[in-house]
Every structure is written in C-alpha cells, then in structure tokens.
Chain A
Amino acid sequence: MMKMTAIVFWLLNLLLALLLPGVINKTKAFFAGRRGLPWLQGYYDFWKLLHKGAVYSRTTSWVFRASPVIGLACLLTALALLPLNGGQALIHFAGDFILFCCLLALMRFFTVLAALDTGSSFEGMGASREVWIGALAEPALFLCLTGVAAATRQSSFSGMLSSSSAGWQQSAPALILLMASLFVIILAENARIPVDDPNTHLELTMVHEAMVLDHSGPDLGFILYGAALKFWSMAIVISGILLPLRFGGVWLDGLLLLLGPLFLGVVVGVVESVMARLRLARVPQLLVAASAFAILGLILLLR
C-alpha cells in the first residue's frame, strides 16, 4: 500500500511540477498589475518543445546530447527519494539526503559540461558562473540538511520530513536558521532573483540561461522540465520541514504536501517583485551568509 501510494504521488508530483513556474509568473504579474502568462504555460512550452526538432552544432559531441537526458534522470531519481506521500519515499535509506545532493550536483556537472562543449563564449561564461555559485551553494545545502538530520535525529528524508514536528518542538531556533539558509539556497540553485534573473534576455548577465542557449527542441524541453523538477523537489523539502502537517492519512498528507511548493512559488514571486537582482560580484556574500546561518543552526543543535 505504502509503495503504491508512493508511486502514485511520485507521478502526481511529476505532473504538477510545471505548475510552479506558472505560480511564480502569476504572482509577479499580480504585483506588476498585469494579467501574466497562463497558469499552464509551462505545460504548453514543454509540449511544444517535445514536438520540435533539435539543432546540434557541429562542434558539439555526445556530451551535449546526453546532458539534458542525464539531468532529467537525476531529477526523476531525486524526486523518488522524497517522501511525497507524507510517509515513506519510493527509495529511502539512511543518508539518502546525501544522494539527493549528489544527484543535483551530477545534473549541474553535466549541464556545465554541455555548456563548455559548445565552445561559445556565452555558455563558457554561464558555466563558469554556475560552478562558482554551485561551489558556494552546495556546502551550504549539505550543512542545512545535516542540521535538519541532527534536529530530527533522523538520517533519511522520509524520517526527517515525517518527524519534523518533533524537531520544531525541541529546537525551533536552530530550524529557523536552517530554513532561512535553505530558502536562500533554493533561490540560488534555481536561478531566481536575487542571484540570477530568469526573465532576462541579456546573454551577458545570465547564469543558468546562458548555459542552455544552444539547446533546442526536446532537449530544451527536458532542461526546462528538469529545472522545474529541481525547484519542485527542493520546495518539497523546505515546505515538508516548515509545515509539519501530518494527519496519518497517506492521501491527505500527500495532497497537503503538494500545496507546499505552490505556496513557496508565491513567496518567490513576492521576493522577485520587491527587489532587484544582486550585482554578480555580491552573490558570494549572500551564499556565504546562507552558509553562516546553517553553521549557526548546527552549532545551536550540537551545543
């Protein structure tokens, strides 16, 4: 039964992930007094791209073609590590959060390789920035998840998310610091303002977008879907910890968990509406601050 619902919710989450960009866009449009893109624009784009042919530059190798597929596969696996039904994940074992981080890193590694494979100066710049940001965001992510594991005394996502209410009762101050840090990391990892501007058309300022300029057709579709899944899965982690609503019913808990990412989408939309993007040289300061928060949280837990 548990296994079955885990599969059902895994599929349901895969289906809903593309709604997240729509929620962010609608929120931003609301703040700007506009109507905004349709809620389902993410799906329309994905569908359109799947039906297009892809163009490959002669200078690229198999790495360029493999990268979108590998990226998507990483995310499909990463999502399966999360207890989407509010109970136990499809795949769960002690220390699975480390695998989660590694899968995200693997996806980044291949995206960067594909970007370098094109030989374009824009993609090279994007790759260099991505690695630069990643090198600062990944340790912070590890620290955060370690902190959550320490606070909940659990070593797998399934345990961490289902016993986060106990964590809140015992060490709320530490968890607040960890979640603040995790929120910044989510913004950085998913190329949102203030770290990156997903709306920009300016190649010289892009980070994530610059790396995928040469991808087209289904490959680009996979990348867009992969990006949405990455955002969605990280949103599940933070909202699962922040809102420890567990009623014991598998269906209810799983559906409640689905609301988390959508709510986070609204929060991100608000953040993007009230502030400008940081100057690129200032981004490390933000990420170091996130690490500092995570370390502080860990110290509070381990004292």
Chain B
Amino acid sequence: MATKIPLRVYNGRSQQMEDIPVFSEQAFREQILAAVRSGARLAALFARETGRGNFKLTALLAQNAGGVLSVLETVVGKTYQSLTPECPQAAVFEREIFEQWGVLPEGHCWLKPLRFHGGYSAGGKAGGCENGPDFPGVMDYYQLAGSEVHEVAVGPVHAGVIEPGHFRFQCLGEEVLHLEISLGYQHRGVERVLPGGPDKRTIHYMETLAGDTTIGHALAYCQLHEALAGCRVPARAQALRAIALELERLANHTGDLGALAADTGYLPAAFFCGRLRGDFLNLTASICGSRFGRNLICPGGTLHDLRADQIENIQRSLAATVKDVKTAVRLLWNTPSVLARLEDTGRLRRKDCEHLGLVGPAARACGLERDVRYEFPAGMYTVTHIPIATWHTGDVFGRAYVRWLEIQRSAAFVQEQLLSLPVGPVRRETKKTNACQMAVSLVEGWRGEICHVAMTDEAGRFSRYKVVDPSLHNWMGLALAMRSQQISDFPLCNKSFNLSYCGHDL
C-alpha cells in the first residue's frame, strides 16, 4: 500500500467525505509539522464529535507557493499532543477546540479561553471554564513583576464607537513590554446554529458574521453551497460578485487610510477619506440597495443585475472617486510628519509573520505573497488576475502602503470587469446540497483570507460548518507588533491591522 498523503482539495470544489485520509494521531501531527516547515499555513483546524467520546480533528493546509490546499484528519480522545509548541499558528485553533469540545491539547503553551462560552457537547463544559461559562475577560492575565512596571487595561468599553475587546498592557514607562488581547464579547454562537442547514437563514448569518465583510463572507458561503450542490454559477454573476468584493475592499481600505490619518492627528486626509469611503459604499448600494452589500449575493449567483445605464454610472463615479482618493492619499504620503508617525511603528518581522500564519495586508506588508485571489483563485479570479501587492517593511507604513496599492489595482480590476461584463443570466437555481461531501471555500476579503469549510451528512445537511475569519489569525500579530513600542502608538498600530471583533468571536 502506498504511503498515505493528505488529500489535495481545490477552492470551491467538493470532495467525498470518505476520501479524506484519516491518519494516526502521531502521523497527523508529523504531516502538519512537516507541511508548515516547508512553508504551508494552517488555514483551519477544527474538531467534530464522532460519538463514543471520540473527536475527529480536521486540518486544512494551504501551501501558498504553488497554491496547494490539502486536508487530513485524525481521531483523538479527550487529549492529544499539542501542535502549538512547534507550530505557533495552531495556538488559537487548539484553544478553540479545547473550549468547544473540552479536548485537551497536552503541552499547549498558553491554554486560555478564546470566547468564554459553554462547551458544544451535550451537557459538556467548555474547556478552561470548569464552573460553566465565565463572563468574557475574566481570567488570569500574563503579568510582569517589578516596581516600575505598570499595567494598563483598556476596554471592553472604548472611547470610540468600536466593537468591544479587552487589551491588557504591561508597560515600563511608555514602552509596552507585552500586550494581551482578550475577546469573546461579541460571541453569538453562529457556528452552532449552522449545522442542519443550509436553510433560508444561512445566508443572513453569513452576511452578518462581520458586517464590514458582508460580501466576503457571503461569497465564501455561496461558493461552498454551490460546490456542495454541484451548481455552476453564470459568468455574469461571477463578474458581479468579483466587482462587489473589490468595491468592499476599496471602501474599507480607503476608510482605513483615513482612520490612520485621523489617529496621527492629520485631519485633512482623514475627513477626505471618510467621505470617499462613503462614495464607494454608495456604489455598492447602487447595485443592490445596501451600502454593505446585503442581499446582493445568493447561492447560484446574484440577486441583482446591472443595466447598461447603471454600468455607465458606476464607471463614471468610480473613476471620479478613485481620482479623489489619489489626491487624498497623496496628501498622506507627501506630509513628512505623517510619514514620521507611520514608518517604523509596529514593525512585525517576516519570520514572526510566517510563524503566526498571518494573512491579508498584514502579511503582505511583511513581504509574504499571500493572496487567495492569486494563489487559490475561484470564480472570476481564475480568468482575470490581480497582481499581489506587497511591501517589505512590515510596519504601519507598510500596511498602509499595501492598502494603497490594492486600492489602485482593485479599481483597475473593477473598471476592466465593467467594460467586459459577460452577458447572460445572473442566477441559476441551486439544487439540494449533496450527501456526505466536504468542501472548502476561500475568499480574499479585504482583511485577508476568509475560509469556510462545510461537511454534509447523509441527508445532505451541514453536519459541521467551520468559519475562519482572517482576524482569528491576525490578532496575535497585533499583540506581537506592539512589543517594545510606545503605548501611545497602540491606536495607530491597531488601526493598521483593523481586525474584526465579531469575525473573531463569531
């Protein structure tokens, strides 16, 4: 018999569940560690109950160079040997598994609650919270001792209108020695209500996983649904979806650049970009009536089509808006006092970035070529490529500059798509999802790689649905970027990552 290897899967295509190779616990571990050593990323790692007190762990490995996705599984009991000490990017997944199922990763370096909710097993207790679910944020924090060390606790209630999250700084004067981030305040239990689907509610759950990534998550879900149902999406719908996804990126990246300017106290660019973000959102609204793209994408295609006059309007206002963005962003790059704040702030080393498995602009700002649109293309991106925007500095400036490059490339992409929109229908009826299938769907949202994995039971219903928001990978990156930085630079650094709280908390 040939040696077992992980099953190669493709973005937006389904597999028979029985084809997924099940390794022994030791081999599973070795396979993952070897893949990560050779440059792969752990895109997802999750557990599901198989009865008799056993759990099946599924790992999704993404080899960005070459664009290879592979899946492997193992069966574990109540404990297994933790991957985290050798593979830090597994840390958050193992904490999640521990919290959801109480499966203990032995030797995990920093096992603490992730979202502070009750366990998933019937009557089960969440791992880490033996007395039932605690209030979010109630746990032992990492502390430094010393007469000159002081602790600063920020949140969960913040001064601005943002989501709740708790940040604990250990500082020596103005210098941050350590930052610990504790989330979970936004946990709604989305992952628990998805099994049994897909039903009428599913798409709405997806659109509200993270409100600013409505298109991204909806698209990831729809690709998954279509893969499981064996449905081919019309070309025109593919193009419209890509346009919507890029408009979402344009709006958020522009808003982020404005917010960075505001945090440095440079108001002209801040106000300018704030308005322009609205202009991009209005373009999405002109397609579907919702500024955030609700009810635009559905399984099988899109719910809205573009008429010729609408296309012309979008082309015109997009060109005008992008021209204004150029002016606003030029203000940023031409103001030395702004650059002095951005450069060398919150620097993340490329090596740390690789170890933590960061995604999105944060990874690309460290020079890592990680972009789903290029490496694991699906839909329109198989036909039209967008070059990967990278920068080498890994600091706040790098993350801002990557956004600026992506703004230009996304705008060009949208214009190109609008010029040559395929003709035909925008929607095809979807059939029922097939039984005993497994599918993976990756989408490059504006924050980074959105990963959805679904498995269906004998009746073709979801038996497990896993969502990995890019924020889940990247929060640790923020904590690391703050080491030995000035505490007064935290807001700037935080904004340069601009991670989702609800996307993390689900």
Contact = CB atoms under 8 A, between A and B. Distances in A.
A201 B271 contact: no
A278 interface: yes
A215 to B, nearest CB: 15
A29 to B, nearest CB: 9
A267 interface: no
A276 B174 contact: no
B159 A272 contact: no
B159 A121 contact: no
B55 interface: no
A202 B337 contact: no
For B264, B345, B489, the residue with the greatest tally of chain A CB atoms inside 10 Å of its CB is B264
Contacts of A276: 261, 264-266, 335, 337-338, 340-341
Interface residues of B, number: 31
B264 A201 contact: no
B264 A281 contact: no
A171 interface: no
A124 B151 CA distance: 11
A199 interface: yes
Contacts of A202: 159-160, 263, 491
A161 to B, nearest CB: 32
Given A278-B337, A278-B340, A279-B486, A203 B264 contact: no
A31 B270 CA distance: 12
Contacts of B488: 204-205, 279-280
B152 to A, nearest CB: 4
Given A201-B159, A276-B337, A121 B490 contact: no
Nearest to B176: A204
B153 interface: yes
Determine the main DSSP class of A at the interface with B.
helix
Nearest to B173: A128
Interface string A15-33: 0000000000000100111
B266 A275 contact: yes
Given A204-B491, A280-B174, A121 B152 contact: yes
A31 B335 CA distance: 15
Interface residues of A, number: 32
Contacts of B487: 125, 204
B344 to A, nearest CB: 9
A97 interface: no
Interface string B489-506: 111000000000000000
Interface in A119-142: 121-122, 124-125, 128-129
A278 B486 CA distance: 12
Contacts of A275: 266, 335, 337-338
Interface string A266-288: 00000011111111111000000
A96 to B, nearest CB: 35
A206 to B, nearest CB: 8
Contacts of B271: 32-34
Interface in A83-128: 121-122, 124-125, 128
Contacts of A279: 340-341, 345, 486, 488-489
Interface string B425-466: 000000000000000000000000000000000000000000
A97 B488 CA distance: 34
Contacts of A194: 265, 337
A70 interface: no
A276 B486 CA distance: 17
A281 B175 CA distance: 10
Nearest to B174: A280
Contact of A273 (B173, B263, B267, B491): B267
Given A279-B486, A281-B486, A32 B491 contact: no
B349 interface: no
B303 interface: no
A30 to B, nearest CB: 11
Contact of B174 (A193, A199, A200, A281): A281
Interface in A246-298: 272-282
A272 B152 CA distance: 29
Contacts of B264: 276-277
Contacts of A205: 263, 488-491
Contacts of A203: 154, 159
Nearest to B344: A279
Interface string B312-344: 000000000000000000000001011011000
A143 B117 CA distance: 61
Given A121-B153, A280-B174, 4 more contacts: A33-B271, A34-B271, A205-B263, A274-B268
Nearest 6 CB-CB pairings of A with B = A277-B265, A276-B264, A276-B266, A197-B265, A276-B337, A201-B159
